[in-house]
Amino acid sequence: MSAIVAATAGAAVIAATPASGAASTLGAAAQQSGRYFGTAVAANKLGDSTYVGILNREFDMVTAENEMKMDATEPNQGQFSYGNADRIVNQARNQGKRVRGHALAWHSQQPGWMQNMSGTALRNAMLNHVTQVASYYRGKIYAWDVVNEAFADGSSGGRRDSNLQRTGNDWIEAAFRAARSADPGAKLCYNDYNTDNWSHAKTQGVYRMVQDFKSRGVPIDCVGFQAHFNSGNPVPSNYHTTLGNFAALGVDVQITELDIEGSGSSQAQQYQGVTQACLSVARCTGITVWGIRDSDSWRASGTPLLFDGSGNKKAAYNSVLGVLNNGTGTTTPTTTTTTSGNPGGGGCTATYSEGEKWSDRFNGNVTVSGTDNWVVTVTVSSPQRVIATWNTSATWGSANVMTARPNGSGNTFGFTVQHGGNWNWPTVSCQVG
């Protein structure tokens, strides 16, 4: 959205707040900013009408929780089995949903025959598996987790030891190349856990690998952050930094397996923080939760999901939906202009543009034209607060209304808004002083 308003007599104010949708489902709310909201799905629950009802209503992306893993799709070497995976893919696609593929190559959940292999035989078997499965689903998968969990926990920042790793350090890039050949239209992701905190060695190790892959032309399009959180592994306050730094390497980032153990408002706040972190990064293309109801979770006792065991929406659901609905302003419009005429002739125009964004605050910039003697009114909406200004002399009419005047620094000034979860743009209007 952008607007140009002629500088004529009389006040003309264009609301700088973008149309804020009030979507009532997670998928529809995420779509307002071009993102998706997905869930892991288990084939054996597709007969549960409560489960399928929530799935069909709320989510627009689906990941098979176990059914596309190596042990499920190639139980015997060279014999592929897609029955359960197909049930999930077909159910999703019939409902107009997209599918994330999980996972082509992983040290875990290997079929028995593969667990006993090594060397060239294992490398070739892995590459054949990647080629066969990605070819079978060619054109039906939005993004593949090509390689899952290949980095070590702890302080090393290096690779995890596994039979695949022992076939040579280039096994990951070989898998990505095979996947690209088999399904050139799918986004190809590296996916891992404990990579959310920017200061962790594992995060840095994955970052260096992606940087290396991009510099050498290895076909990687995205990085998945599993995001399994609990009190021992809380949502990091620097999550937006992590997502933003990876995105700056030229890849999409996605939250791929989100769940947060806990309950009530504390759990809701953490879900809010993760959602905000994704919305604050333009290339964070979507969020997937790892299951629908608490009772569907791989760690059900931690009640880590958005619906309770009966399928009721939890506080965490409402907080995620609220952030998705308020977050649309962060990526859609780029400039908005407001103008007020000057009864003596002439007028001025104030143009707002977005600045940097963080999980708790964002910057805005205002450029004034038409006069050097301006008075710009900036109005923020609750619970937003302006917490800093530059290149202007500012006074406050009320906590939400700031009056900005020149301070000799020119006709562009800026300010920082602590947003409290409200990402709507401030309104700006200009008068000749």
Site for ligand G2I in 15-54 (CB under 6 A): none
Nearest approach, Cβ of 139 to ligand G2I (angstroms)?
24
Nearest approach, Cβ of 141 to ligand G2I (angstroms)?
16
Nearest approach, Cβ of 25 to ligand G2I (angstroms)?
23
Of the two residues 256 and 371, which places its CB atom closer to ligand G2I in the complex?
256
Nearest approach, Cβ of 239 to ligand G2I (angstroms)?
18
Of the two residues 224 and 329, which places its CB atom closer to ligand G2I in the complex?
224
Nearest approach, Cβ of 90 to ligand G2I (angstroms)?
20
Query: Cα dihedral sign for 233, 236, 240, 246?
Result: negative
Nearest approach, Cβ of 44 to ligand G2I (angstroms)?
8
The yes or no reply on residue 63 touching ligand G2I (CB under 6 A) is no
The yes or no reply on residue 259 touching ligand G2I (CB under 6 A) is no
Of the two residues 162 and 332, which places its CB atom closer to ligand G2I in the complex?
162
Return phi, psi of residue 389, to 5°: -140, 160
Contact 429, 377 (CB under 8 A): yes
Q: Residue 382 burial (CB < 10 Å; 0-12/13-18/19+)?
A: exposed
Of the two residues 109 and 389, which places its CB atom closer to ligand G2I in the complex?
109
The yes or no reply on residue 65 touching ligand G2I (CB under 6 A) is yes
Q: Which of 20, 56, 95, 109 binds ligand G2I (CB under 6 A)?
A: 109
Nearest approach, Cβ of 63 to ligand G2I (angstroms)?
9
- Pattern 211-230, ligand G2I, x by CB under 6 A: ---------------x----
H or E stretch covering 129: helix 119-136
The yes or no reply on residue 84 touching ligand G2I (CB under 6 A) is no
Closest by CA to 276, choosing from 82, 115, 419, is 419
Position closest to ligand G2I via CB: 298
Return phi, psi of residue 114, to 5°: -80, -35
Closest by CA to 131, choosing from 66, 169, 183, 71, is 183
Q: Which of 257, 294, 296, 354 binds ligand G2I (CB under 6 A)?
A: 257
* Amino acid, single-letter form, for residue 123: R
Separation of CA 68 from chain center:
23
Helices 239-247, 264-279: crossing angle, 10 deg rounding: 20
Site for ligand G2I in 177-206 (CB under 6 A): 193
Q: Name the strands in the sheet holding 427-432, side by side, starting at the edge strand that comes first in the sequence.
A: 393-398, 401-405, 374-379, 427-432
Query: Which residue has 């404990």 as its token pair?
Result: 194
Of the two residues 66 and 359, which places its CB atom closer to ligand G2I in the complex?
66
Contact 362, 416 (CB under 8 A): yes
The yes or no reply on residue 66 touching ligand G2I (CB under 6 A) is yes
At 186, list the tokens.
């799918």
Q: In whole angstroms, what is the distance from residue 274 CA to residue 399 CA?
A: 28
Q: Which of 298, 353, 361, 403 binds ligand G2I (CB under 6 A)?
A: 298
Contact 96, 59 (CB under 8 A): no
Of the two residues 74 and 354, which places its CB atom closer to ligand G2I in the complex?
74
How many positions of this chain bind ligand G2I (CB under 6 A)? 8
Separation of CA 297 from chain center:
21
* DSSP conformation class of 160: P
Cis ω on the peptide bond leading into residue 6 (within 30° of 0)?
A: no
Of the two residues 194 and 367, which places its CB atom closer to ligand G2I in the complex?
194
Site for ligand G2I in 113-142 (CB under 6 A): none
Of the two residues 59 and 352, which places its CB atom closer to ligand G2I in the complex?
59
Nearest approach, Cβ of 68 to ligand G2I (angstroms)?
10
Q: In whole angstroms, what is the distance from residue 68 CA to residue 208 CA?
A: 28
Which of these is catalytic: 65, 257, 261, 354?
Answer: 257
Respond yes or no: is residue 65 known to be catalytic: no
Radius of gyration of the chain (CA): 25
Separation of CA 30 from chain center:
10
Respond yes or no: is residue 354 known to be catalytic: no
Site for ligand G2I in 329-368 (CB under 6 A): none
Of the two residues 44 and 393, which places its CB atom closer to ligand G2I in the complex?
44
Q: In whole angstroms, what is the distance from residue 293 CA to residue 296 CA?
A: 5
The yes or no reply on residue 108 touching ligand G2I (CB under 6 A) is yes
Pairing of strands 61-64, 284-289: unpaired
Q: In whole angstroms, what is the distance from residue 136 CA to residue 82 CA?
A: 9
Which of these is catalytic: 74, 149, 173, 261?
Answer: 149
Nearest approach, Cβ of 46 to ligand G2I (angstroms)?
14
- Active site positions, annotated: 149, 257
Which residues lie near ligand G2I (CB under 6 A)? 65-66, 108-109, 193, 226, 257, 298
